[in-house]
Amino acid sequence: MRVAAVHAAPVYMDKEATTQKVIDLIRQAGERGIRLLVFPETFIPGYPYFIECYPRSASRCDCAQSVVTQGKEISAIQSACRETGVAISLGVLGTHGRRIPLFNSQINVDGNGELLGVHRKLQPTYVERAVWACGSGATLKTYKTGDGYNLGGLCCWENTMHLARQALVEQNEHIHAAAWPALSVLAGFEAVADIQIEALMKSHALMCQTFVVCASSYVDEGCLAWMDENLGSQSLLKKGGGWSAVVHPFCEVLAGPHTSETECMLEAEIELRELLRPLWRVMQSRGFQE
């Protein structure tokens, strides 16, 4: 089965244009025979880097660009999945439809266009709490897809939460969709961000014996221009960043890692039968209850 991680930048703070970009990428994936496509964290409408400064006008814009789970943007994306047979895990800024509260969400859509479910980030990280609400453990699920594998996922620093990871292991996660923003372009984080992400992704792959598809966005000129317009000149954020890859349960990197400001799909052929190998019996992340 062919899977891919999207390493791309959204059309920053423009949900309609970014929705169209998502649809275009899904169609490209379909043409390449990709069966699962994983997108970065809050790809629609873009990660709110401005929260470090908490400008109210920028926060209002972020709210206005949020996505309703049953809204027109997701409906159009479901149609693209149905047309191409591509399943996706898509990071969005989600809402119930009342605009608040806002949730960092992963929308999971099967290759037949069915909405499998929505995961909401359990605990927003650091200043993310200024703009996002806490998700519920009720959304900590794996989803059985039409291709027969169980799809789970976590957003950014949720991947450090041992019990959240264990909850997915207990549900026999086969493929882990890890969604990230660009972190290595934040002032003070340049030297360690990519190293930490790589460590977390390989740790989850090995300890949970699952394939990991890690998708990060990067910061482009459009994002920086938006920041300048709404915040004025700033030095907290620069162009580039992101760490995207596909990781095997033995920690081998099957595609990537990719860290530049060049847009791409990191594609890899995976064999789900490899999850039945003897190492699974050695690791026994779920204990011996089975």
pLDDT tens digits for range 69-117: 889 999 999 999 999 999 999 999 998 776 678 999 999 999 999 999 9
Provide the H-helix boundaries in 122-220. Answer: 162-170, 193-208
Mean pLDDT of 9-30: 97
Whole-number pLDDT of residue 278: 55
Instruction: Indicate whether 30 belongs to any domain.
Output: yes
Tokens of 205: 């792959």
pLDDT at 289 over 50: no
Q: Is residue 290 part of a domain?
A: no
**Residue 27, domain member (yes or no):** yes
* Residue length of the chain: 290
CA separation for the pair 226, 208 (Å, rounded): 39
The residue with tokens 């809402």 is: 95
Please tell me which residue in 16, 31, 41, 263 is annotated as part of the active site: 41
Q: Which residues of 132-152 are buried (b: 16+ CB within 10 A; e: fewer)?
A: beebeeeebbbbebebebbbb
Active site residue 41: yes
- The secondary structure of 69-94, three-state, reads CCCHHHHHHHHHHHHHCCEEEEEEEE
Q: Torsion angle, CA of 89/95/96/98, rounded to 10 degrees?
A: -160
Range of the domain at 44: 2-283
Number of domains in the chain: 1
Strand partners, 36: 3, 87
- The CATH number of whichever domain residue 205 belongs to comes to 3.60.110.10
Kindly report the pTM of this predicted structure.
Answer: 0.92
Q: In this structure, is residue 92 part of a structural domain?
A: yes
pLDDT per residue as tens digits for the range 131-147? 899 999 999 999 999 99
Domain membership of residue 70 (yes or no) is yes
